[in-house]
């Protein structure tokens, strides 16, 4: 009868939290970011959130790795520094001598899991871990960004301030020369971002929002202001 044993990796076999060590490599805030994500992982684990699997939150550090140019080679280099728990190699050797099937099941990234397995004499086919291809993710991300840049930009159209619809936004493009000083006194200048907050009925004033403050403008003056509105 075959005997089988399964080991977790980080803790029983190696004391190093490899993802934490990798995050430390992105700069001063790397370790802090990882600690926050790790606490979040603990919280949703304790809550017993539906669909959650241990280690799912490892995915949350990947954007930081991509942003800071971390590569598979970097992860392997960090893993090479990992120590093996005292006695672990001897235990694995004894189990192998007695024909035990030994497996490692870990959320660790494959580069670390396979490296520790190699040091212990456990073949990759008996290691279940997290696959991660930063190279592939970079390629997919680059393709998405190129596609986004290729999208047509929102078309802008000119409107008088008095013609803007409710909640429409735009940038002041032009103010009639004879009224610039008067209108400038209301805080309306070329280049200012505006939003139509309220349109009063029966030729009443319009109320526009600028920098989180509302300003009431009579229709006569609003006719003198041209706005580039995004269509």
Instruction: Residue 14: count other Cβ atoms within 10 Å of its Cβ.
Output: 24
pLDDT in tens, 110-131: 999 999 999 999 999 999 998 8
The pLDDT of residue 67: 84
Q: How confident is the model at residue 51 (pLDDT cuts 50, 70, 90)?
A: confident
The pLDDT of residue 173: 93
Distances (CA, A) of 26 to 31, 41, 110, 112, 230: 9, 21, 20, 18, 39
What residues have CB less than 8 Å from 94, skipping those under 6 apart? Answer: none
Q: How confident is the model at residue 61 (pLDDT cuts 50, 70, 90)?
A: confident
DSSP state of 125: G
DSSP state of 146: H
The pLDDT of residue 175: 93
Q: Give the Cα separation of 13 and 135 in Å (integer).
A: 28
The pLDDT of residue 15: 95
Q: Comparing C-alpha atoms, which of 68, 65, 45 is closest to residue 109?
A: 65
Helix, strand, coil percentages (3-state) for the chain, rounded to 5, are 45, 25, 30
DSSP state of 186: T
Q: What distance, in Å, lies between the first and last C-alpha atoms of the chain?
A: 73
If one compares 144 and 202, the residue with the highest pLDDT of the two is: 144
The pLDDT of residue 111: 92
Q: Are 6 and 113 in contact (CB under 8 A)?
A: no
The pLDDT of residue 135: 85
The pLDDT of residue 116: 96
The pLDDT of residue 137: 86
User: What rounded mean pLDDT belongs to the chain?
Assistant: 87
pLDDT at 200 exceeding the cut of 80:
no
If one compares 202 and 60, the residue with the highest pLDDT of the two is: 60
SS3 136: helix
3-state secondary structure 54-88: CCHHHHHHHHHHHHCCCCHHHHHHHHHCCCCCCCH
Q: How confident is the model at residue 48 (pLDDT cuts 50, 70, 90)?
A: confident
* Domains of the chain (ranges, CATH numbers): 3-146 (3.40.50.1000), 156-230 (2.30.30.90)
The pLDDT of residue 231: 61
- Segment 17-22 shows an average pLDDT of 91
Q: How confident is the model at residue 155 (pLDDT cuts 50, 70, 90)?
A: low
Q: Give the Cα separation of 39 and 45 in Å (integer).
A: 10
Q: Are 189 and 209 in contact (CB under 8 A)?
A: no
What residues have CB less than 8 Å from 84, skipping those under 6 apart? Answer: 13, 14, 116, 119, 120
pLDDT in tens, 163-189: 888 788 999 999 998 888 888 888 899
If one compares 53 and 35, the residue with the highest pLDDT of the two is: 35
Q: Give the Cα separation of 75 and 192 in Å (integer).
A: 48
pLDDT at 14 exceeding the cut of 80:
yes
What residues have CB less than 8 Å from 205, skipping those under 6 apart? Answer: 216, 217, 218, 219, 222
């Amino acid at each position: 009868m075959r005997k089988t044993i399964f080991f977790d990796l980080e803790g029983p076999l190696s004391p190093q939290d490899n993802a934490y060590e990798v995050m430390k490599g992105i700069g001063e805030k790397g370790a802090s970011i990882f600690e926050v994500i790790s606490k979040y992982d603990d919280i949703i684990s304790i809550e017993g959130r539906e669909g959650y699997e241990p280690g799912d939150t490892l995915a949350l550090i990947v954007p930081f790795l991509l942003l800071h140019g971390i590569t598979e080679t970097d992860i392997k280099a960090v893993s090479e520094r990992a120590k093996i728990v005292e006695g672990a190699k001897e235990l694995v050797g004894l189990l192998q001598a007695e024909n035990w099937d030994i497996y490692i099941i870990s959320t660790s990234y494959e580069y670390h899991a396979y490296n520790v397995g190699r040091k212990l004499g456990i073949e990759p086919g008996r290691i279940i871990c997290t696959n991660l291809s930063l190279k592939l993710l970079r390629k997919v991300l680059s393709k998405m960004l190129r596609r986004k840049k290729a999208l047509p930009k929102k078309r802008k159209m000119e409107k008088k301030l008095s013609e803007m619809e409710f909640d429409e936004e735009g940038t002041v493009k032009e103010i009639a020369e004879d009224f610039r000083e008067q209108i400038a006194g209301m805080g309306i200048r070329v280049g200012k971002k505006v939003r139509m907050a309220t349109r009063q009925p029966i030729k009443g004033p319009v109320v526009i929002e600028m920098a989180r403050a509302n300003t009431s403008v009579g229709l006569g003056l609003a006719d003198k202001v041209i706005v580039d509105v995004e269509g």
